[in-house]
């Protein structure tokens, strides 16, 4: 067995100590675990104490007064620098519980991927702390895969977890398109090859992890077995954005508000994803050179410029999306339109044109009426653009086109 470097960014979290204790207790080889912890804490939080670990050789702790913290990417960037050549690394949050022999299970699954540079990742199962039970209350018993349903207004992709069908029958991990920042397990060299952008505040961390790791040559997988649980609700627990508010900035307690940090972070993210050109030099925090931005789009089924997801991506079908290269992204905006009209009366008609146009006068759909025995006509069509008007235009036998009538819808 080889060593595992465990990365934990903690911000004023009462679950940090239970997480460390449980991680060690449930490991098959606890002597092979090393910890890198960015401990962002307050003297007000008497329960937040790491004295028992400070002098241990397998613990490296970055001691940060909460007022000096600058967000998630900043903390994880510092933790990466504590890597000391361990073969594997596990990144988690500071509120987790573990399966017995989780370390052995993860290594076995990683080897079963068959990839030279695999990453195991998912949104972990759910647990809730219980005072008289160190394991907590386990809520989720099935492994999940990470799904993107749509783009946010800020250019990110919010992720959700979806049940893996027939997971009990699987004997190896399945392909993934997204990485969860709260749980991934991979080769330790990832700490050196993937340099966390300290300017990524919080939102967008996971899509950045996904595309940058993929372009660095890493292959993404979801575990076929649940080995770790996460405390999601955390009601009443301090978050970074609770402290980094306008009131504390006006009192000179913090240097910047979370909203300003987040705004600058999202500009960097949209530039990285090529959604916008924000004239930012990302330096070592940009994409890798093993695969391209376009390679990831095709693999994952994403069009970042248009901020659209392929139907297979939304459904959670396993990547790659083989036909995303030639996919007509405009089809994703198709809407059905159904109309019924009274047919106007004309004399000596060869046919009657009924056309639909958008606000720029572009024809969206044309329907020629040749059967004048019907007094009404039903029209059904699909369009990516909202119809603005319809047009009656008679074509008379012998004399050609007559007077056109435009009617705003």
pLDDT digits (tens, 9 = 90+) for 77-98: 999 999 999 999 999 999 999 9
Q: Write the DSSP string, 200-248.
A: --STTHHHHHHHHHHHTTPEEEE-SS--EEE----TT---HHHHSSHHH
Tally of CB atoms within 10 A around 238: 16
Q: How many CB atoms lie within 10 A of CB 203?
A: 17
Show the domains of the chain with their CATH numbers. 1-327 (3.90.550.10), 334-408 (2.60.40.4070)
List the end-to-end C-alpha distance of the chain, in Å, as a whole number: 71
Secondary structure (3-state) at 129: strand
List per-block mean pLDDT (blocks of 10 residues) for the chain, which spans 409 residues.
Answer: 95 96 98 98 94 96 96 97 98 97 98 98 94 88 93 92 93 97 98 96 95 98 97 88 94 94 95 95 96 95 92 91 73 81 89 90 89 88 85 90 92
Q: What's the pLDDT score for residue 324?
A: 63
pLDDT tens digits along 332-386? 767 788 999 999 988 888 889 999 998 888 888 998 988 888 889 999 988 877 8
Q: Which pLDDT score, from 0 to 100, does residue 398 have?
A: 81
């Amino acid at each position: 067995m080889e060593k595992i470097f465990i990365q934990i960014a903690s911000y004023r979290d009462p679950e940090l100590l239970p997480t460390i204790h449980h991680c060690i207790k449930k490991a098959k080889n606890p002597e092979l675990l090393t910890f890198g912890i960015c401990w962002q804490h307050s003297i007000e939080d008497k329960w937040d104490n790491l004295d028992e670990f400070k002098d241990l050789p397998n613990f490296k702790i970055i001691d940060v007064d909460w007022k000096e913290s600058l967000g998630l990417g900043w903390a994880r960037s510092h933790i990466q620098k504590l890597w000391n050549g361990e073969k594997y690394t596990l990144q988690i949050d500071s509120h987790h519980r573990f399966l017995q022999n989780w370390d052995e299970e993860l290594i076995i699954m990683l080897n079963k991927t068959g990839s030279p540079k695999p990453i195991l990742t998912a949104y972990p199962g759910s647990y809730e702390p219980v005072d008289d039970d160190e394991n907590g209350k386990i809520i989720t018993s099935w492994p999940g895969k990470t799904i993107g349903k749509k783009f946010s207004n800020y250019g990110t992709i919010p992720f959700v977890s979806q049940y893996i069908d027939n997971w009990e029958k699987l004997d190896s991990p399945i392909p993934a398109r997204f990485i969860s920042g709260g749980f991934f397990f991979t080769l330790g060299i990832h700490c050196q090859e993937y340099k966390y952008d300290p300017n990524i505040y919080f939102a967008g961390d996971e899509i950045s992890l996904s595309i940058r790791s993929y372009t660095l040559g890493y292959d993404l997988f979801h575990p076929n077995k649940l080995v770790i649980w996460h405390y999601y609700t955390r009601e009443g627990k301090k978050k970074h954005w609770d402290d980094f508010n306008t009131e504390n900035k006006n009192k000179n307690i913090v240097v910047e508000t979370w909203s300003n940090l987040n705004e600058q972070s999202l500009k960097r993210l949209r530039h990285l994803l090529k959604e916008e050109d924000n004239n930012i030099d990302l330096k070592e925090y940009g994409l890798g050179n093993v695969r391209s931005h376009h390679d990831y789009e095709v693999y994952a089924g994403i069009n970042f410029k248009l901020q659209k997801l392929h139907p297979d991506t939304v459904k959670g079908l396993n990547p790659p999306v083989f036909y995303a290269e030639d996919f007509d992204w405009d089809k994703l905006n198709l809407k059905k339109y159904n109309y019924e009209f009274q047919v106007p009366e004309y004399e000596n008609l060869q046919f009657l044109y009924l056309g639909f146009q958008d606000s720029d006068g572009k024809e969206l759909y044309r329907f020629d009426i040749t059967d004048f025995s019907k007094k009404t006509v039903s029209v059904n069509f699909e369009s990516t653009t909202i119809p603005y008007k319809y047009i009656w235009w008679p074509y008379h036998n012998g004399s050609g086109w007559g007077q056109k009538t435009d009617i705003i819808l």
